[in-house]
Structure 1
Amino acid sequence: MTASATLILLMAVLYAVGITVMLERSLTRVLIGFMLVGNATNLLILLVSGPNGTAPIVTGTSADETMADPVPQVLMLTAIVINFGITAFVLALIYRSWWLAQLGDQGDAVPDQHTDDTEAATDATFDAVDLDDAAIQKILADSNEHPDEPDRGLEEKR
């Protein structure tokens, strides 16, 4: 197999764009850049893996000259798994930084229980969570999927 000029050009563009985007200050752009570099690495492994071959299990012999080398396939699978793990980690970092930005100057520090304005500080911090919980409870109350009495549906069918 000869390397296609299109694949080589695509790999080079993915590396260039990925590294350029990774140098930005935004975590989202770092994530996008890392994903582009990961895909470019997979293309690089594909390009240098050599010619196509037959599967080792089909021929039954280990001395087959046309047998495919499994090492590049394993390397590419490993690169995909590592890329997925780092993507999940960076997504967690992005969510955490967004959450801390929403809390403002207070951060995620919980106020002392012994102060007089504990209720006001707690209400200000967790107001969005309470509003979400109230909205979810209203939706569940309006729907017929979660009745108040779980056995009521069975008794009506009998």
Structure 2
Amino acid sequence: MTFALAVTVGALFALGTFLLLRDDLVKVIWGVTLISQAANVYLITLGGVTEGTSNSVPILADHHEPFPVTTDPVVQALVLTAIVISFGMTAFALVLSYRAYQENETMDVTEWDQ
């Protein structure tokens, strides 16, 4: 499972970097979005999700047994906040790209007037 997550994070970073280097503004925005999502997957991977562990809430655990192993809730809250912020920034960047298209009549950044 760890290898699959590492490959997924690597592929997301690679595809995001590839899109970031394109001339089309929408592809650049998608590249930034993919890189931010790759960072979120990376943080969740580091948060302690492992196979074979119980992820139940410690309050509901049996009082005679030790508490089960749980994931770190701080990492989950951080990633949830990052997802919301990246969604807002993506929407804002798409609106800015539409405005740039209205001004320059093209989405190719190499054809814009200096």
TM range (shorter): 0.7 to 0.9
Count of residue pairs brought into register by the alignment:
99
Which one of 76, 80, 101 corresponds to residue 83 of structure 2? 80
Unaligned runs of 5+ in 1: 103-158
Q: Give the letter aligned to residue 86 of structure 1.
A: M
Query: If you compute each CA radius of gyration, which structure gives the higher value, 1 or 2?
Result: 1
Unaligned runs of 5+ in 2: 106-114
Comparing 19-28 with 33-42, greater Cα deviation is found at 19-28
Which one of 6, 11, 21 corresponds to residue 9 of structure 2? 11
1 or 2 for the larger relative contact order (CA 8 Å, sep ≥6)?
2
Deviation per CA, 1:96-130, whole angstroms, max 9, x where unpaired?
Answer: 0112234xxxxxxxxxxxxxxxxxxxxxxxxxxxx
1:38/1:55 CA distance change after superposition, 3 Å = same
| Corresponding position: 1:55 with 2:57 | yes
1:81/1:56 CA distance change after superposition, 3 Å = farther
Give the TM-score, by structure 1 length: 0.54
| Corresponding position: 1:93 with 2:96 | yes
**In the aligned structure 1, how far is the partner of 2:62 from the partner of 2:94?**
45
Identity over the aligned pairs, expressed in percent?
34
Shift of 1:56: 4.1
For the aligned residue pairs, the C-alpha RMSD in angstroms reads: 2.3
